[in-house]
Structure formats: C-alpha cells, structure tokens
Amino acid sequence: MSEVSHDPLRIAMISYYLPSGSKIGVGYQAHALANALSDRGHHVAMFSDCPPTDGARYEHHEVKMHGPMRTFRFAWRLRSVDFRDFDVLHAHGDDYWLWRRRCAVHLRTMHGSCIEEALHIPRAREKLRMAALGLTEILATLVADRTVLVSPGTRRWMPWVRDVIPNGVDTSRFNPNAASKTDHPTVLFVGTWHNRKRGSELAHVFAEHVRPLIPDAELLMVTQDAPSYLPDGVRVLGRLSDDELAAAYASAWAFCLPSDYEGFGIPYAEAMASGTPVIATPNVGARYVLDGGKAGVLAPLVELGTALVRMLLDEEYRSDLRRLALERSKEFSLEHVVDAYEVRYRRSIG
C-alpha cells in the first residue's frame, strides 16, 4: 500500500448500494475504494441504505429506507446529515439535493449514465425510472464541486465533464496466480441471466455454435437468476465468495459478458487482471476497458459464436490477448485509482 503523503483526510462517502445488500457493481466499487483509503490512514465514513459489509475497515452509517421510491427518498434524507466535520464528501450517487456546500470538497463519481441505460431497458415503467435518475445525475454535476467519470463514453450525456478516473481492481486478489487454468476449454460469465447482461443469449450462442465444434467446452455462469433447465455444456456456479470468484476468473480460458450497456464493466477489468482474455459486445464500457478492441475482442452478438470458437481453439491467439489484457489491466489497478482520487482530493482542498 502507498503511504499517506500528507495529513490523513476525513472522507464521507455516499453509496446507496453496498455488497452487504446488493449485487450492483457500484456498491462493490465504493466498498473497495473506502477500504483502500482507510488502509492509507484516512478516516472514511460510509453512508448507505445497506447494512455493514463483512470485511469493511471503514466507519458505517446506515440510512435505512422502506417502501417505494427508496433511492429518491434516500437522496432527500441525506440533506439532514451533518457533513461539516469532513474534509471531503465523495458521492457514488444520490447527492443531487446537496446543493448547499456541506464540507470543503464535494466530489461525485459517475459510474455510467442512467439515460443511456434507459435506452436498453424493455419495460416502460423502468425506462421512466432510469430516465428520471439520469436527470438527477445531470443535476449532480452542477451540485458537486468536481465530477469524475469512470469512462470517457459517458461524456455523450455530460460533455462538460472532462475528468476520468476508471474503476479499480484489487490486483492482490485478482491476478493470474489465483488458480491454474482448467484442463478443458472453459468460458466464464459473471452477471444476470436476464436484462442487459444477456446471460441467456450467451448460453444460447454457446450451445448452438461452440459445443458442436468443441464438445468438451463448458460455459460457467456466475449468476443467481438462471432457470432450472440449462443448455448442454452450461453450468451455473451461483454466488461465489471473493476468493472463489478470483479463482474462477484465473482458471477460465476466456471471459465473456455480452452486455448491451456497461458504464465501465468491472468484470472485464477483473478478468484481464486475472490473465484471462475477454470477449465483449461493443458497449460503452467494453470499448474503453478493452482499449477499442486492442486488449480484447469486441464482437456483436451475431458474431459471438465465431469469436468464442476462435478464442478456445487458437492457443497462440489466446496467449497474445492474455498478454495484452494483463498490460492494459495495469491502468485499472486499485492502487492507481486511489492515487488518482487522493490527488483530486488534495488539489480541490488546496
């Protein structure tokens, strides 16, 4: 861990989601960042709707909400919290009503765009909800002193925001040494069976295009909403512990997440840091993390089967992509990300 080069800061962090109560990636990222900052000697207090998370090394304040419209009411409830004793207020969402200065620095991280996500949601009611959240994100860029994007693609909806700090991967956990490769071709998926992660579509492509050519290939799916009946060669792993997930990434021959939208896509970066080449559909986050296709494969859904077959059969091709993925993943190490945030905190206070 890097040493704190100045006096430790008092940091209030806001995240409606945490791993203790939600599988949404923003919560995992907020938890990891809060722990890393605490390890550097800063005092971090997390304000969340979720209960305390196992392994948290930061202070926790539960702002529990019940009933409908919880995320909107959570944001309003934060107005009653006194943040004046903190040096930095770092929000991962829900800070759009905090327009009166609450402490020395108010920084907001945008983990994507709800407006962009609304374009890919099938149900009208959920589209409306996500669009409303998208408007609050735009308002938040005006309320905060400084706004940070996790990928440049989000500028489509916030062109006035120029600062980019990617999400971070704990490379002490996610690395090639976490496990050896399986003795047969395996593809790993991490996400949901339904909606924008498109796990069901991947399972169909795998059964139709990969298994007939590679009979011993397996699709391993870290998901909790898959049906009881699965196509041939598809196996559901359910929910894994952090160490089990790291081993799954490192042991797979390839990783595939065919989302139609990712603001960043932390599973791509975790796979790359684990020495596993990535195949993704060309969404906003995948284009950034895979460096426009230089550090992984970007293939539309109709070409996914062909891309998977080549990845599993061509060892030299797979080895080259593994090398490029590991090199690119250095940009997303948690240490690198925490360094960047510490610089933004200090400069803003100064």
CB 35 within 8 A of CB 57: yes
Upper half-sphere CA count for residue 202 (Cβ side, 13 Å):
35
CA-nearest of 120, 110, 168, 169 to 142 is 110
Q: Using CA atoms of 30, 31, 36, 39 in order, give the dihedral in degrees to the nearest 10.
A: 140
pLDDT in tens, the chain (350 residues): 444 457 899 999 999 999 999 888 899 999 999 999 999 999 999 999 999 999 999 999 999 988 888 889 999 999 999 999 999 999 999 999 998 777 899 999 999 998 988 887 778 888 888 888 899 999 999 999 999 999 999 999 999 999 999 999 999 999 999 999 999 999 999 999 988 899 999 999 999 999 999 999 999 999 989 998 999 999 999 889 889 999 999 999 999 999 999 999 999 999 999 999 999 999 999 999 999 999 999 999 999 999 999 999 999 999 999 999 999 999 999 999 999 999 999 999 87
CB 305 within 8 A of CB 211: no
| Secondary structure (DSSP) of 153-219 | GGGGT-TT---B----B-TTTSSGGG-PPPSS-EEEEES-SSGGG-HHHHHHHIIIIITTT-TT-EE
Residues in the chain: 350
Collapsed DSSP state (helix, strand, coil) of residue 95:
coil
Quote the tokens at residue 14.
Answer: 């806001």
CB 332 within 8 A of CB 29: no
Residue 119 backbone dihedrals phi, psi, to 5 degrees: -65, -20
